[in-house]
A and B are shown apart, each in its own frame.
Chain A
Amino acid sequence: MSAASFASLLAAHAKLFAARRPGLARGATLPTLERSARGVVADPTWLSDYRRVCGLADDGSLPTLAPQLMAAPLHLALLADPAFPIAAMGIVHVANRTEERVRLPDGAALDLVARVAGSRETALGVEIDLVTEATLAGALAWKTTTTALSRRRGEASGERPKREAPTAGVEGAPLRSVIVRVPEDTGRRYARIAGDLNPIHQRAWLARPFGFRTAIVHGTWTVARALAECQDDLPLRPRVVEVRFRKPVPLPSSVVVSAWRRADGALDITVAPPKGGTAHVELRVTPS
Chain B
Amino acid sequence: MSAGMTTPAASVEAPAPPRSSKPHEFIPVEAPSAEQRRSRSATFAGAGEKRSRYHLPERLDSSSPVGYRTRVSLTRAEAETMLSVLALPRPTGFVPGPTPAESELFEECSLGVMTARQSTNFRGHRDVLLGPDDSARAAALLRRIGTSGVPVLDGAAYTHVVLARPYRTAFTLLLTFVGHRALSSLATVPMRAWAKRFRHADDIPTIGHLTELHLGVLADAMERAAVVASAGRRRAQVFLRPMDAPADPEALRELEALAGLGAKERALGWRIGLVAQVGYATTGERVAMEPSSARRIGAALLALRSERIQPGVNAEESAPAPYQERQAMDVSDALTEQAGRAAYNAFAHFTGVDRDRARELLLLERIDVLTPGGKDRLRAVRTQLAEVTDRVVKEIPLWADLPTGRALSRNAARGRKAFALAGQRIYVGGLSRRDVEASGLPFDFAVRAFGAAAARSALVAELSGTTEIPAGCDLLAGVCLMAGPVNQNDIGKQFHGASDLLAEAHPDRDPTSLLVWTLKAKTVADPIGNEQQLLDASRKGALVDLRPGPHEVVSLRRGAQLTPMRSRDGRLNAERAFGDVGNFVSAPDGREIAGNRGSAWPSSWSQEVSW
Q: Which of B561-611 contact A (CB under 8 A)?
A: 569-571, 574, 582, 584, 586, 590-600, 602-605
The stretch of B26-34, B53-61, B319-327 in contact with A is B53-61
CA–CA, A170 and B590, complex, Å: 8
CB distance from B543 to the nearest CB of A (A): 26
CB distance from B182 to the nearest CB of A (A): 49
Residues of B near A274 (CB, < 8 A) are 58-59, 61, 594-595
Q: Which of A234-284 contact B (CB under 8 A)?
A: 254, 256-259, 274-276
CB distance A179 to B569 under 8 Å? no
Give the nearest-CB partner of B600 in chain A.
A232
CB distance B590 to A172 under 8 Å? yes
CB distance B571 to A55 under 8 Å? yes
* A164 contacts the other chain (CB 8 A): no
Residues of B near A56 (CB, < 8 A) are 602
CB distance A179 to B600 under 8 Å? no
Residues of B near A175 (CB, < 8 A) are 597
CB distance B602 to A232 under 8 Å? yes
Give the nearest-CB partner of A259 in chain B.
B599
CA–CA, A56 and B571, complex, Å: 9
CB distance A178 to B569 under 8 Å? no
CB distance from A271 to the nearest CB of B (A): 12
CB distance A174 to B569 under 8 Å? no
CA–CA, A169 and B600, complex, Å: 19
Residues of B near A257 (CB, < 8 A) are 599
Q: Which of B59, B584, B596 has the most CB of A within 10 A?
A: B59
* A120 contacts the other chain (CB 8 A): no
CB distance from B194 to the nearest CB of A (A): 40
Give the nearest-CB partner of A48 in chain B.
B569
CA–CA, A268 and B18, complex, Å: 60
Map CB proximity to A onto B28-60 as digits: 1 under 8 Å, 0 otherwise.
000000000000000000000000000000111
CA–CA, A256 and B571, complex, Å: 15
* A213 contacts the other chain (CB 8 A): no
Given contacts A55-B569, A57-B602, A59-B602, contact A174 B59 (CB under 8 A): no
Q: Which of B59-87 contact A (CB under 8 A)?
A: 59-61
CB distance B599 to A229 under 8 Å? yes
CB distance A59 to B604 under 8 Å? yes
Given contacts A51-B569, A179-B60, A229-B574, contact A57 B605 (CB under 8 A): yes
Q: Which of B61, B591, B598, B602 has the most CB of A within 10 A?
A: B602
* A122 contacts the other chain (CB 8 A): no
Q: Which of A155-187 contact B (CB under 8 A)?
A: 168-170, 172-179, 181
CB distance B59 to A179 under 8 Å? yes
Give the nearest-CB partner of B584 in chain A.
A173
CA–CA, A276 and B592, complex, Å: 12
Given contacts A59-B604, A232-B603, A274-B59, contact A174 B571 (CB under 8 A): no
Give the nearest-CB partner of B62 in chain A.
A179
Give the nearest-CB partner of A189 in chain B.
B570
CB distance A254 to B602 under 8 Å? no
CA–CA, A57 and B574, complex, Å: 14
Q: Which of A118-134 contact B (CB under 8 A)?
A: none
* A230 contacts the other chain (CB 8 A): yes
CB distance A57 to B604 under 8 Å? yes
Residues of A near B603 (CB, < 8 A) are 57, 59, 231-232
CB distance A179 to B605 under 8 Å? no
CA–CA, A243 and B185, complex, Å: 67
Give the nearest-CB partner of A168 in chain B.
B594
* A53 contacts the other chain (CB 8 A): yes
CB distance A177 to B595 under 8 Å? yes
Residues of B near A176 (CB, < 8 A) are 597-600
Given contacts A58-B604, A173-B586, A230-B599, contact A258 B571 (CB under 8 A): no
CB distance B598 to A178 under 8 Å? yes
CB distance from B482 to the nearest CB of A (A): 32
CB distance from B222 to the nearest CB of A (A): 28
Give the nearest-CB partner of A60 in chain B.
B604
CB distance A55 to B597 under 8 Å? no
Residues of A near B598 (CB, < 8 A) are 176-178
CB distance B570 to A55 under 8 Å? yes
Pick from B584, B595, B604: contact of A256, CB below 8 A. Answer: B595
Residues of A near B597 (CB, < 8 A) are 173-178
Residues of B near A52 (CB, < 8 A) are 569-570
Give the nearest-CB partner of A231 in chain B.
B602
Give the nearest-CB partner of A177 in chain B.
B597
CB distance from A218 to the nearest CB of B (A): 16
Give the nearest-CB partner of A274 in chain B.
B59
Give the nearest-CB partner of A49 in chain B.
B569
CB distance B605 to A178 under 8 Å? no
CB distance B570 to A258 under 8 Å? no
CA–CA, A231 and B574, complex, Å: 13
Residues of A near B605 (CB, < 8 A) are 57
Residues of B near A276 (CB, < 8 A) are 594
Residues of A near B592 (CB, < 8 A) are 169, 173-174, 177
CA–CA, A166 and B599, complex, Å: 18
Residues of A near B591 (CB, < 8 A) are 169-170
CB distance from A43 to the nearest CB of B (A): 17
Pick from A55, A177, A231, A254: contact of B596, CB below 8 A. Answer: A177
Q: Which of B582, B584, B592, B593 has the most CB of A within 10 A?
A: B592
Map CB proximity to B onto A172-206 as digits: 1 under 8 Å, 0 otherwise.
11111111010000000000000000000000000
Residues of B near A181 (CB, < 8 A) are 61
Residues of A near B59 (CB, < 8 A) are 179, 256, 274
Given contacts A173-B592, A230-B599, A232-B602, contact A178 B574 (CB under 8 A): yes
Give the nearest-CB partner of A232 in chain B.
B603
CB distance B570 to A179 under 8 Å? no
CB distance A177 to B594 under 8 Å? yes
CB distance from B177 to the nearest CB of A (A): 38
CB distance A178 to B599 under 8 Å? yes
CB distance from B106 to the nearest CB of A (A): 15
CA–CA, A233 and B600, complex, Å: 9
Sample of 26 A–B contacts (CB below 8 Å): A52-B569, A52-B570, A53-B570, A55-B569, A55-B570, A55-B571, A58-B604, A59-B602, A59-B603, A173-B590, A173-B597, A174-B592, A177-B592, A177-B593, A177-B595, A178-B595, A178-B597, A179-B59, A228-B571, A229-B599, A230-B599, A231-B602, A232-B600, A232-B603, A257-B599, A274-B594
Given contacts A173-B597, A256-B595, A274-B595, 7 further A-B contacts (CB under 8 A): A55-B569, A169-B594, A177-B592, A179-B61, A254-B61, A256-B594, A274-B59
Interface residues of A (CB under 8 A from B): 51-53, 55-60, 168-170, 172-179, 181, 228-233, 254, 256-259, 274-276
* In the complex, the 10 A-B pairs of residues with the closest C-beta atoms, listed nearest first: A57-B602, A179-B595, A169-B591, A179-B61, A178-B599, A59-B604, A229-B599, A177-B597, A176-B599, A52-B569
